[in-house]
Structure 1
């Protein structure tokens, strides 16, 4: 278990798991733990570290997004302003797919249906973010409650509202094999288009609700599913999601479109917020995470794809870890050394609580904490290490040597990290 489960592209191919239920300068001198007077922890032997072919110095600064990357970057930034399912119901802690940046309207196809994806695409949806989670179960056939929470941005309120109407109508009139939905009303949500459906399983009937709320340039979408006996919960989940999502999306500093900016191109945002991404190991494949990595996320953004979303959100918030890098490795930057140690300790202990066991540390790096677990997908290995205000995290499957090389290279990169960064 990695504290944040940033999944490889191959896993994204299974994104219908729940959707199917819903119709610096690289030559810089090390600054070390005390902002310039520290080279390496005494117990670390840099000469003994095996870093393989990984870089051991920070990457050059990333600069601003370009027209080619802005949809990914704004989609990543949107994650911090999308409600995490556990905020709707604290028991929604088992992260599922689809949880990802939505790079275009077509991506709505894996969230809801191909028809919905076509409708959003036809109305020129720009990008979005979707987060999915369920209540934990022992077996896949056990009854559970689930939520899909998505925010989609359009060019204007008219396109957002039209998309909501057309998808809602499609659910009511076009049977994709799961039956037609029934229009419903939630009294306290007069601006929300709601439909419900029921599916019968061996464990008993389940009800689901699709809810679409146009909100300015955004379309807010919530899908909630529960055993039929808990139908009231689905309505309450929709209401709670909107109570949280509407004020949250109002805070999002979206990049203005050319039309919104008086016909001129707006200044695009920085890719690497707070200059933390330069310290993470890069992916060899630029499309490894399909728009979700090469990113800086805040506590809420990190929680979306965490193995323990409430813990991740709380620990990162309390530690002042406002921006965290996600690339091949993950880098957290706390407000101080004590915060970094808390992140390391709490996340490592959470691994052990989830059935991982302590694993040997890499040669020359006894300060690292490593854990391992045999799973149906192979042996998962994680290693974490703190260096001043920073924590590096590496992971892999069936290749402990590679994980050791990653975290060793990561430690050396963090020796160059700015410990006095604002």
Structure 2
């Protein structure tokens, strides 16, 4: 199966599931290599850590807010949960946010965000398109957390008002199924924004139809039907999440079931859009470029935990499921060729991108240990080899 590779920009987003980062090959060979003992002392791990961390509780208020957003992510439906057509994710948009610009700046006027939502705690954004490269319709749901229901309700009205006032062509509209929603569109464009308060949350739904806009066609019924369909899934789902009281945010644990403890720490020189985080198997679907295929793989492997830091790490049902997941998450196609395995770690596999894109991450390595499947990437083969070797040692030492 051909998988997309990381662009240089995608390397910034180390929180993205490493689509294409899995290595491939003959599974029988992998079984033979797995039987060979690995001497950790012989691995070339460079300067990377090989001992698990004990991260403990959050260290500052900003980190606490981001961890709260990561917890929320596990309850936000993926766009493909709302409509199976929405599977093409845009990896350049921040998902975890405590400042709105990186996540919402291109789809909402955020110049007066602090004024409109002064008590905003944290947010999580879920987005995907019905076709790649802006050739279809984008569906975005951003869920914003507030200290209480009253502040969420006030923020929903204020955020819509600020965005409405930013463009004189905006026209307010009513959503028949959600009359309490604050929404507007531009009658000349097939796009809509909706702000709906539910409990301590504001759900901002944004839809943009590139095709109809190009063809200069509009269909409001189609837009409000999709907004309502989206809210039908999002509202009950996030209703199962219990936000942390604001005065207790500093008690939140950074990790979930030791996943980040086991994941390779991200080097300081790595840039990123989203912070390191630990999620459920469902949460992992938000960090992918093809949620339909990734859902199949994740559910087939029984993945219940996912962490992203210096590598992407999955916890599968058992060792066999982890091995299958590692096989499924990559493959030697015409865009990839095999690369040398790391020194002393033949069970790990590496590959090199040889496609026609010029600004991409070139090397990918992967490995499994017990229930865990790990994926690493780098512009340099040696660095990718060192990352996956250190990740393997981490998994062994954490066992």
Relative to the length of structure 2, the TM-score reads 0.82
Q: Following TM superposition, by how much is the alpha carbon of 1:235 offset from its aligned partner in structure 2, in angstroms?
A: 2.4
**Helix, strand or coil at the partner of 2:153:** helix
What does the per-residue CA deviation read over 1:185-221, in whole Å, with 9 as the maximum and x for residues that have no partner?
A: 221222222211266xxxxxx5111011100111001
User: 1:343–1:189: structure 2 CA closer, same or farther, 3 Å change rule?
Assistant: same
Q: Find the partner of 2:113 among 117, 129, 134.
A: 117
- Count of aligned pairs between the two proteins: 367
| Selected match of 1:289 from 255, 272, 275 | 272
Structure 1 residue 130, shift from structure 2 partner:
0.9
Q: Cα gap change, 1:266/1:223 in structure 2, threshold over 3 Å: closer, same or farther?
A: closer
Greater RCO structure (CA 8 Å; 6+ sep): 2
Structure 2 residues not aligned, in runs of 5+: 16-33
Which residue matches 2:383? 402
* 1:165 aligned onto 2:157: yes
8 Å Cα contact 1:93-1:135 kept in structure 2: yes
- Measured in 2, the distance between the counterparts of 1:43 and 1:171 equals 61
Post-superposition offset of 1:283: 1.7
The Cα of 1:41 is off from its aligned counterpart by 4.2
The answer to whether structure 1 residue 271 and structure 2 residue 254 are counterparts is yes
Pairwise mapping of residues 347-386 of structure 1 onto structure 2 (< 5 A)? Answer: 347-349=329-331, 352=332, 355-373=335-353, 374=355, 375-386=357-368
CA distance in 2, matches of 1:406, 1:280: 10
The whole-number CA distance in structure 2 between the counterparts of 1:251 and 1:4 is 36
Gaps of 5+ in 1: 13-39, 200-205, 259-264
Question: 1:29 maps to what in 2?
Answer: none
Cα RMSD, aligned residues only: 3.0
Distance 2:260 2:6 in 1: 17
TM-score normalized by structure 1? 0.78
Give distance in 2, aligned partners of 1:5 and 1:80.
Answer: 27
Match of 1:190 among 168, 179, 184: 179
- Give 2:52's aligned residue: 58
- Equivalent residues of 1:66, 1:268 under 8 A apart: no
**How far apart, in 1, do the equivalents of 2:392 and 2:93 lie?**
32
Separation (CA, whole Å) in 2 of partners of 1:198 and 1:11: 39
How do 1:1-400 and structure 2 match up within 5 A? 1=4, 7-9=10-12, 41-42=35-36, 44=38, 46=40, 48-59=42-53, 61-68=54-61, 69-96=63-90, 97-104=92-99, 108-109=104-105, 111-115=107-111, 117-121=113-117, 123-137=118-132, 140=133, 143-175=135-167, 180-197=169-186, 206-226=189-209, 227-228=211-212, 229=217, 231=219, 232-258=221-247, 265=248, 268-285=251-268, 288-289=271-272, 292-349=274-331, 352=332, 355-373=335-353, 374=355, 375-396=357-378, 398-400=379-381
**Residue aligned with 1:114, SS:** coil
Deviations 1:333-379 (A, max 9, x none): 11211221121111124xx5694443332232222232332433234
Structure 1 residues 155-164 or 210-219, which shifts more? 155-164
In 2: Cα distance, 1:152 partner to 1:6 partner: 26
